[in-house]
Structure 1
Amino acid sequence: MKIVSWNINSVRFRIAIVDQFLREVAPDILCLQETKVIDADFPKDAFRALGYDHVIIHGQRMHHGVAIISRVPLVEDDRLDWQANREARHVGVRLPNGVRLENVYIPAGGDVPDREVNPKFGQKLDFLERMTRWSESLDGPTILTGDFNVAPLESDVWSHKALLDVVSHTPIEVEALARLQAANDWVDLGRHFIPAPERLYTWWSYRAKDWAASDRGRRLDHMWATRDVAAQATGHQVFEPCRSWLKPSDHVPIMTEFAF
């Protein structure tokens, strides 16, 4: 089973490259973040035309939004409010084999890494803390994926020194993500298959005139699994060429393949 995660930055605006990706890669399940559309306007027909008949969505007008699109049946779904303000940032499902799949869009956190000056940064840290408490009580095989908006390792960013004070790579965020990971002994599948310090990025800013030449990337998108599920993972891939497609997202898809 191939499971993909992709912050698409508006699913309707970029439906052409989503269609292209699904035709070329043919994953079994696609988890999207930042869909930026209410549920009634989600382009379900475009996915069903390609055989993705199971579409679980949690949308919001203009902002946020997550979705899980699947060719295999999904047994149940839920939507957790880790932001504590009803923003559409999570949707979870159970696969036929009993594995839970949780798709999350963690807040970016604004520009200033200080919760007193920048409330958005505090909201991000509180979001991670609520996820950590959820993780501590988690029982059962689970995959956790999405845009975590944190690049934890020095080799997850183009310059550790330059980004130490930049939101997404600050020590306080890295520590918060480490607590989340430790809360259930999650396996970081990206770094399991592509160990540090090998270069591994999933996001490049739109501000760069030539994103590939400057290569100022960060690894903000992740796929984690509980130990029992991670033991069935057979490979992990980052689709960097998608960053050069027509009307690209600033994120690229990541995919893990499992032997189930």
Structure 2
Amino acid sequence: MRLIVTSWNINSVRLRIDQVRRFVETVRPDVLCLQETKCPDDRFPLKDIRAMGLPHVAFSGQKGYHGVAIASRLPFSATDVMRFCGKDDARHIAVTLGAEAGAAAGITLHDFYVPAGGDIPDPELNEKFAHKLQFLDEMRAWGRDARPAHGPAILVGDLNVAPLETDVWSHKQLLDVVSHTPVETQALETLRQESGWIDAMRRLRPEPERIYTWWSYRSPDWAAADKGRRLDHVWVSRDLDPALRSVEVFKEARGWERPSDHAPVTAVLEL
């Protein structure tokens, strides 16, 4: 069975519901994982999402900030929400896809939205950056203790870190810019490796290929400048590695009217 999973920081699901619909009609993912939905649970556009052929929906949101959601053509169970750093700020949700997804034991799918970290890469001067580092530390502890990758599992989301030199338009110029500082890239790669996750995109599209998923709103001509960063990720457990077929960035969506600054990332697995 072919399983198509998309991760997308939508930057307000209600504001960009038409873009979501357009993408789903074009790519037809089996599972759509959204971040930064910016929507309290009682205002989530559930009917619109279900009308797109994604009847099974789980979401965790709050007014104006953060928020994650998983919408699926396939049924799922065991919805779970984890809280990090003592904050109830809607940055994680997980579901377990059943045998319909193609794996007898089911597949656990984690959707994360890691804090951006503000503008100053100093935890003593910037509490947002301190929060980000603490969040990554707690993710590392979760990976070590809960061993989430020791079974069929997928982790997706806006992890807000571009870990490799070829994940940014200029490694040298961004070394002291939040999302590509050494303390962040080391933290993300350490938690991924210790937990046993495989970076699906780099597994199939290794360096030196440059891959970006985010382009700043501040750029007057983002496409021509192409000063991007790979902030959005798809990781898989080792037993799903043989099933990987492709991981693609749908860059076209960044050029749509009133777009998110992130493009959707879609992984295809043959199970």
After the TM superposition, which residues 121-160 of structure 1 pair with which residues of structure 2 at under 5 Å, given as runs? 121-137=129-145, 138=147, 139-160=150-171
Counterpart of 1:51 in structure 2 is 53
Q: Which shows bigger deviation, 227-236 or 168-177?
A: 227-236
Counterpart of 1:19 in structure 2 is 21
- What is the deviation of 1:140? 2.2
Q: Deviations over 1:17-73 (max 9, x none)?
A: 100000011000000000000011100111111211101000110000000000000
The number of residue pairs the alignment matches comes to 260
Separation in structure 2 between the aligned mates of residue 92 and residue 83 of structure 1, nearest angstrom: 18
- What is the deviation of 1:199? 1.3
Q: Which shows bigger deviation, 200-209 or 41-50?
A: 41-50
Separation in structure 1 between the aligned mates of residue 50 and residue 237 of structure 2, nearest angstrom: 30
Separation in structure 2 between the aligned mates of residue 106 and residue 124 of structure 1, nearest angstrom: 7
Q: Which shows bigger deviation, 43-52 or 17-26?
A: 43-52
Counterpart of 1:219 in structure 2 is 230
8 A contact 1:232–1:259 mirrored in 2: yes
Counterpart of 2:268 in structure 1 is 257
8 A contact 1:155–1:198 mirrored in 2: yes
Q: Does 1:234 align with 2:242?
A: no
8 A contact 1:83–1:89 mirrored in 2: no
- What is the deviation of 1:179? 1.2
After the TM superposition, which residues 53-92 of structure 1 pair with which residues of structure 2 at under 5 Å, given as runs? 53-92=55-94
Separation in structure 1 between the aligned mates of residue 152 and residue 143 of structure 2, nearest angstrom: 12
- What is the deviation of 1:233? 1.3
Counterpart of 2:219 in structure 1 is 208
- Correspondence for 1:169 among 163, 180, 197: 180
Q: Does 1:116 align with 2:124?
A: yes
Unaligned 5+ residue runs, structure 1? none
TM-score, normalised with respect to structure 1: 0.98
Q: Does 1:243 align with 2:245?
A: no
Q: Does 1:106 align with 2:117?
A: no
Q: Deviations over 1:126-174 (max 9, x none)?
A: 1011111111131422111100000000000000010000000000001
What letter corresponds to residue 38 of structure 2 in structure 1?
K
Sequence identity (%): 52
Q: Does 1:181 align with 2:192?
A: yes
What letter corresponds to residue 216 of structure 1 in structure 2?
K
Unaligned 5+ residue runs, structure 2? 100-105
Q: CA RMSD in A?
A: 0.9
Counterpart of 1:196 in structure 2 is 207
8 A contact 1:193–1:235 mirrored in 2: yes
Runs of 4+ with >4 A deviation: none
Counterpart of 2:8 in structure 1 is 6
TM-score, normalised with respect to structure 2: 0.94
